[in-house]
Structure 1
Amino acid sequence: MSPRSVKESRSTVVQLRLPTTLSEAQRYLAEGAVPIGGATLVWALWQRDGFPEQAMSLRDLPEANLIGREALGAAVLLHQVDDRVPDVLRRAASTVGTGAVRRTATVGGNIVGSTLRCLLPAALVLNARATVLDGDGTYETDLADVVAKRHLLLGLRWRDPVTSGYHKAAAEAGGPPPLVVATAVHAGSDGRHRLYVAVRDGYEVISESTPCHTGAEQVLHDLDRTELGSLPPTARDAIRREVSEILARPIGH
């Protein structure tokens, strides 16, 4: 495939690689191409620090464009994340930035490239696993590894939850990151249910889980004995509301 040329105002030319197969993507990585996601985050950095010779977008790679009840590709634009995925992930994507941002930003760029990582709490409560690509090929890993090492993300996979919920506090533009509380209930192999909770407080994301067949008050007590119990009162109040709401649904536990 012939690369496209992206010309910047100071006559800097970046060769844009658009692989259609995993082998092509792997070869471009080996040649030094820089993954760009939706380019909403890297463009300003390139203007400041200098442009690479090659960039790579996964927008034409089938494996990175999946949308389903248990899978989401890294090249999917945020405005494309709809009711084919669990509610917690759909609602998280729908609250990122403005409509213009959501029509450009990608799932992978948000999770790996953004400091806010708005989709990360939702992915954590889905207990999602990540498929990544490096010079040796593709493999599966956890989200903590992806975030820490900034892997090239191809997509996410998870088991469909019984139910899920999402809360994002109101916030002023340009202010601190708003509080996020994501929740999901999963069915275990033993027939019992387990509640997953992930909270973004500032730039930090904390996630915990606990059995939820014991009733809301016991669940909240158990969560309060985890790292979630060290959060500020405003965050703990939001956790209590969201957990009480999701456990009040008819989920059969």
Structure 2
Amino acid sequence: MPDVANLALDCLDRISHVEAISQLPKLERLHFGVLDFDQPQFLETLNLRQLRSLTVAANRKRNLDLAPLADAVNLHDLFVQGHWKGIEVISHLPNLATLSLSSFAGKHRLDFVSSIASLKKFTLILGSRANLGDLSHQTLEKLRILRVSGLGTLGDLGRFPALSALQVHDQLKLVEVDLRHVGLEWLSLFNCKNLRTLPGLELQDRLQEFEACRVGLDLDSLRDRTWPATTRAVRLISTREKWNVEAEKKLAERKLSSEVSRWI
């Protein structure tokens, strides 16, 4: 298939003749997920310079060597699940704008992310760590923290001075998200049952959309507060259906939609 530009080999137990992937002259997007795959040097066989998007899912041994990614100078989007060896090389990729790390063990630091000069969107999903103190970036615009086990704090978000969109989901130990040193346009908080405070929310005068579902925040106060003139959508979901219906109605009377976009 010499004209293939987008190839997905995913949810497979095993694969043979993997060398055929390297023989696709127009390949730009590759999604690779093979459970019983045990060739740690696989990435060396690819023409990495022609790839713009790459997804590498976990195998049983999680032993893929990522060091060859140093040659992926045109890579724009990267998703890595479960692998970590050699990942620091991506800090020098000149065009990497979107990075997602899944099941990235807490014993591995995130310092290298700060050196990815072109990065605009970062997602950390699954895995476990107590805090994000080793994560920072000067030009990152969108940050997603999803289902990271044991996470007790996001720390001072001033480590991300360009941040405009934040999504925090399924963080059961989180009690506070400090917004005092960021200026957000979009904020989504979901299933953070112990989240009680949002210091700095009153400072978010550029906020366009806000979502809080299944959180420990005072939803009555959020429903009745005066939102900035920039705010067009507020979605609040409690465990009580009657309250949800009434809240949506009251917000609609103030010209605030309950339809929050997913542009992050």
**TM-score higher than 0.5:** no
TM-score w.r.t. length of structure 2: 0.27
Looking at both structures, which has the greater relative contact order when contacts are Cα pairs under 8 Å and sequence separation is at least 6? 1
**Normalized per residue, which structure has more helix?**
1
